[in-house]
Structure 1
Amino acid sequence: MLTHLATAFGVLGLLTVVPGPDMAVVTRRALVAGRGDALRTVGGIATGLLFWGALTVAGLSAVLAASPAAYLVVKLLGAGYLLLLGAQALWQHRSAGFVGATDAPVAAGSPWRTGLVSNVLNPKIAVFYTGLLPTLAPPGLPTAWAMTLLVLLHAALTLAWLGGYALLLSKAGPVLHRPRVRRALGRTTGVALIGFGLVVATAPR
């Protein structure tokens, strides 16, 4: 069982640290509103994983993964949300006049909700949880308990990795607050979010 858990830890850890939409969303929130909002965004992302985990244990995410129409709807909603976030980031960093969180209308929104929505509208998680997680489940445990354990492990790894990343961004605050650096990173994040949105929209199942 320990060997299976170590394998699961390794696989989930690798999947967690690969840059993706979640990291881009956290980066954007850190630039717009600072460390506190970035950490709350991470909390929303982790909550989204727990949401998908609960659906997986209940068997509902398998329905989504098996239904082309439902999968397409969630995929397009998720892609549209990432495109919107990317466009907002580019607009907010469009000129030298951008100074920070006080100029950004999105800063008034809930960072936790931003993280939650970006994660819940990612149908790839449903496919991942229903397709890969069962292969990582340690033997000797009931299926529901094994899946719950793996989902909690994934959420914990996500909190640790993205939370550490948000803290690292805050440590680099003096550099990030330089107007040129802030604009360049903000625009890069915006382009990345749009790119991830296009990838989500066009990716096959």
Structure 2
Amino acid sequence: MDLSLLAGFAGLCVLLALTPGPDTFLVLRFSLGGTRTGLAAAAGSATGSLLWALAVAAGLATLLEQSAEAYRVVKIAGGLYLLWLGVRALVRRGRGIGEVEGAYGVRAGAALRAGLLSNVLNPKVGLFFVAVVPQFLPGHHATLGATLLLGVIFAAVGLVYFALIAVVAGRAVEWLHRPRVERAIDRGTAGIIATLGVSTLVSAAR
């Protein structure tokens, strides 16, 4: 593949990563439980991107582009999942993630699953791979190898960015040592995630 195309695609991925979305707030929220859980959420999101790349290479994700109903179903599922995550956190009365997710390894597993599901149930990521990725493929043809290469670049850029968020947020919480600050951030991110879920459901109903 042309290196200039790969560089242009990587630059586009950086711009997309810098745009706040559900994955950003999920990583931030799980980082309150420690850097490790934030990194796990970031890894889950990156894995979801790779699954979308596989779906595009297999021709499955084109259903989202061709079927309004399929797109709506994925959108509703993603909205419900985000709403569930946000409401569950708020119902726990803002207790820190470290206090409610159980053992350290379990927290990391929960963060990984949350990041993965948030990405997989985000139809906008699928449409990105369907509508944008082919523009950077040789002959605009979605071959397995070329599509996976772009998927790896997309996932790697996202992983690096979210990992930085996890490290900075995790260390900031450790440095502050203020439960009230942690709880306030936890409530705020949970509220934003729930709001994103509601807005996704509303847009799917239109």
**TM range, smaller chain:** 0.7 to 0.9
Contact 2:50 / 2:152 at 8 angstroms: preserved in 1? yes
Q: Which amino acid in the other structure matches residue 186 of structure 1? A: D
Structure 1 stretches of 5 or more lacking a match? Answer: none
Separation of aligned partners in 1, 2:115 and 2:30: 9
Residue-by-residue CA offset, 1:80-116 (whole Å, 9 max, x unaligned): 110111112222344xxx3552334694862211111
Secondary structure of 1:60's aligned partner: coil
Q: Is the 8 A contact 1:92 1:104 kept in 2?
A: no
Distance 2:86 2:140 in 1: 42
Q: Which residue of 2 aligns with 1:172?
A: 172
1:41 Cα deviation (Å)?
1.3
TM-score, with length taken from structure 2? 0.87
| Matches for 1:1-205 after TM superposition, within 5 Å | 1-31=2-32, 33-94=33-94, 98=95, 100-104=97-101, 107=107, 110-137=110-137, 139=138, 143-144=142-143, 145-175=145-175, 177-203=177-203
Judge conservation of contact 1:93–1:186 (CA < 8 Å) in 2.
Answer: no
Tell me, what secondary structure is at the counterpart of 2:53?
helix
Sort the Cα spacing of 1:109 and 1:84 in 2 relative to 1 into closer, same or farther, 3 A: farther
Q: 2:35, 2:171 within 8 Å by CA — same for their partners in 1?
A: no
Supply the distance in 1 between the matched residues of 2:128 and 2:57 (Cα, whole angstroms).
13
Contact (CA 8 Å) 1:42, 1:159: kept in 2 or not?
yes
**Contact 1:175–1:181 (CA under 8 A) maintained in structure 2:** no
Q: What CA distance in whole angstroms lies between the structure 2 residues aligned with 1:150 and 1:188?
A: 34
Aligned residues between the structures:
200
Contact 1:89 1:189 in 2 (8 A): no
Question: Where does the alignment leave 5 or more consecutive residues of structure 2 unmatched?
Answer: none
TM-score normalized with structure 1 length: 0.87
User: Identity of counterpart residues, as a percentage?
Assistant: 38
Q: One-letter code of the match for 1:13?
A: V
Cα offset, 1:141, TM superposition: 9.0
Cα gap change, 1:146/1:190 in structure 2, threshold over 3 Å: closer, same or farther? same
